[in-house]
Amino acid sequence: MVEFFRRKRTIPYKMFDRAHYGLEAKNARILERIYHKGQALAWDGKEVLESLISEHGTPKIADDKKEALSRIFGIIMWGELAAWRISAELADELEPLEAKLAATSQAFDEARHFYVMHDYLTAANALPKKLEWGPRALLEGVMNADHLTKKLMGMQLMVEPIALTLFHFVKKMNVEPVLTHLLPYYERDEARHVALGIQYLPAMLTQMTVPERISLFAHQFRLLTYEVWSNSAIAKDMLVLGVDPRELMQVGQGKQTMALNMVFSSMNMESDFGTRVLNRYASSLVELTLPDGYENSRLTERLKRSWNVLRHGALVELVPLTSEISEADTPLIYKDKAPRKPRRKKSKKSTLVN
């Protein structure tokens, strides 16, 4: 049934008052730069895909790998749609000017990511028919969250880092040349998207009530459960493509932890208790679903390892959120632009908006 009655909308006269939203000036400057970078580095999805197919030929994937790639990148395709919907909602609902600009830029990027991945999988004759329960529950859990902070944290600090990890692994494996050369365009955009979460979440968290923060923490546990089970469900597919599912999960967890640490550091929070609890829970699930030699591991041994990690924790190595993507990796972005002057080396935080 069509919803005719919605809450009354008003002009957000305070959208320029950063202090009203708890937004620091330095964070606001980075958020605004995300929007302008997005405009400057936008790429034509149809042109890029057609150019890569012209150079490398129509995507041909071996029969023994096609189903695996279809299932894995089906998650990416529908994940881009989820990100498109969430970023469009954020662009509508967020009131500070700089955050609204950054979310608007992301919505534009995600729309391109969705249709390009659809067109690529169609050209490869690998368009997926449906999503498995785990990935569907994860994406719908983020989309249907009852608070914007949950949506922003779920998408930018959980789903996006895992996608970046998968892009890196599949690109390194060189499963199919068109896909290998297409993924750097995605990676360059996704680095800006993670930055939206890093820069604006501190302002959102400071304005949440204690019950809202507890609810957010519980929501993170649910999403972590879906995420680990999703990874377990496609573990065999990843092995077919040459990707170690356990290593992918560990690298993704390292990226997520890095992102959370950057958020809490921006808030001048010294305690990492929440991150350690989440990591201990996620690591115990990994031991249960993806232990070393998981295909031949007995359930009793898995339970023992999982309980041991839950009690004592496990080492999570921090991993940089983004990999270095050079102009040579994404030549069609710069083909009509004048050469740029060399830039000074930036810190890890600032490279998020490259």
Instruction: Give pLDDT tens digits for 5-31.
Output: 456 778 888 889 888 888 888 889 999
pLDDT value of position 296? 58
DSSP for 222-275?
Answer: HHHHHHHHHHHHTHHHHHHTT--HHHHHHHHHHHHHHHHHHHHHHTT----HHH
pLDDT value of position 5? 47
Is residue 272 scored above 80 in pLDDT? no
Is residue 316 scored above 50 in pLDDT? yes
CB 316 within 8 A of CB 254: yes
pLDDT value of position 119? 97
First to last CA, the chain: 43
Q: Does any domain span residue 254? A: yes
Is residue 184 scored above 90 in pLDDT? yes
pLDDT value of position 344? 54
Is residue 338 scored above 70 in pLDDT? no
Mean pLDDT of the chain: 85
CB 301 within 8 A of CB 244: no
> pLDDT band at 52, cuts 50/70/90?
very high
Q: Does any domain span residue 14? A: no
Is residue 58 scored above 90 in pLDDT? yes
Is residue 4 scored above 60 in pLDDT? no
CB 200 within 8 A of CB 30: no
Q: How far apart are CA 269 and CA 330, in angstroms?
A: 37
pLDDT value of position 248? 87
pLDDT value of position 230? 86
Q: Does any domain span residue 132? A: yes
Give residue 327's domain range. Answer: 22-270+316-337+346-353
CATH of the domain at 261: 1.10.620.20
**Chain mean position to CA 257:** 13
Q: What is the pLDDT of residues 147-175, one digit of tens each?
A: 999 999 998 888 888 888 888 888 888 88
pLDDT value of position 293? 61
pLDDT value of position 350? 39
Higher pLDDT: 293 or 25? It is: 25
pLDDT value of position 354? 46
Q: How far apart are CA 25 and CA 174, in angstroms?
A: 42
CB count, 10 Å around CB of 275? 18
Output the pTM of the full model. 0.86
Q: Does any domain span residue 42? A: yes
Q: Does any domain span residue 325? A: yes
pLDDT value of position 292? 67
pLDDT value of position 29? 92
What is the total count of domains within the chain?
1
Q: How far apart are CA 315 and CA 280, in angstroms?
A: 9
Q: Does any domain span residue 323? A: yes
pLDDT value of position 294? 55
Lowest mean pLDDT among 68-82, 177-191, 210-224, 264-278: 264-278
pLDDT value of position 105? 95
pLDDT value of position 157? 86
Q: Does any domain span residue 305? A: no
Is residue 142 scored above 90 in pLDDT? yes
pLDDT value of position 174? 86
Higher pLDDT: 50 or 296? It is: 50
* Most confident region among 45-54, 247-256, 274-283 by mean pLDDT: 45-54
Q: Does any domain span residue 10? A: no
Report the pLDDT averaged over residues 184-209: 89
Is residue 345 scored above 80 in pLDDT? no
Instruction: With H, G, I as helix, E, B as strand and everything else as coil, classify residue 113.
Output: helix
